[in-house]
């Protein structure tokens, strides 16, 4: 179910947010606790062009999206109801640029419990959606792009580092990281 910022104002209890990319290593909002979580029905992939944060209009980068199919390990953050408005405003400002994502409730499996968690799922009809890019296309883009939040490589490296810190294996992302690192050394 798609959610709007206004329909979330009726929250009446603490709630969870599921992060699968930069939210894992840079949430940017206050939270009560965090835990590793797994979401079924979606997978993490570089499927969103970034012409601001990790690229430019001339040289767009790629950032992660939560796309349908498979499963994804990430981090679930518990947010206090008293911080809800501040956190939701922050998340919608950060994630809802250019209609790139749909805010959705997903089922986050954490320590044998399933909790509804707010997450941002890729908008497959969005102008910046970049489905089915090959590893070569992804690695070439990530190796050269830089935006106002830094290089696209740094984004990938920070994500890999956080996954390793959390003992979350992501073989496909690791292979992509190794390929981009190799490309950057050759230049």
Catalytic positions: 95
Residue 129 is given by DSSP the state B
CA neighbor of 61 nearest in space, from 144, 132, 134: 144
Q: Is 133 helix (H, G, I), strand (E, B) or coil?
A: coil
Contact 67, 42 (CB under 8 A): yes
Between CA 62 and CA 159 the distance in angstroms is 13
Report d(CA 148, CA 151) in Å as an integer: 8
- DSSP string covering 64-127, please? EEEEEEEEEEEEEEEE-GGGHHHHHHHHHHHH-GGG-EEEEEEEEEETTEEEEEEEEEE-TTST
Task: Classify 136 as helix, strand or coil.
Answer: helix
150: helix, coil or strand? Answer: strand
Q: What is the DSSP letter of 27?
A: -
């Amino acid at each position: 179910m798609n959610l709007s910022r206004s329909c979330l104002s009726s929250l009446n209890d603490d709630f969870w947010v599921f992060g699968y990319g930069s939210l894992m290593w840079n949430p940017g909002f206050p939270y009560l606790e965090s835990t590793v979580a797994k979401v079924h029905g979606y997978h993490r992939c570089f499927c969103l062009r970034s012409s601001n944060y990790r690229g430019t209009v001339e040289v767009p980068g790629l950032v992660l999206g939560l796309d349908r199919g498979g499963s994804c390990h990430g981090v679930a953050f518990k947010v206090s109801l008293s911080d809800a408005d501040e956190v939701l405003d922050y998340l919608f400002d950060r994630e809802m640029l250019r209609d790139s994502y749909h805010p959705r409730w997903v089922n986050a499996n954490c320590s044998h419990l399933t909790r509804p968690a707010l997450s941002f799922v890729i908008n497959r009809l969005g102008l910046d959606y970049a489905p089915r890019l090959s590893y070569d296309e992804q690695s070439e883009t990530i190796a050269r792009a830089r935006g106002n939040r830094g290089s696209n490589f740094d984004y990938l490296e920070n994500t890999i580092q956080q996954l390793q810190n959390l003992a979350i294996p992501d073989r496909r992302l690791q292979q992509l990281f190794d390929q981009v690192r190799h490309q950057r050394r050759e230049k």
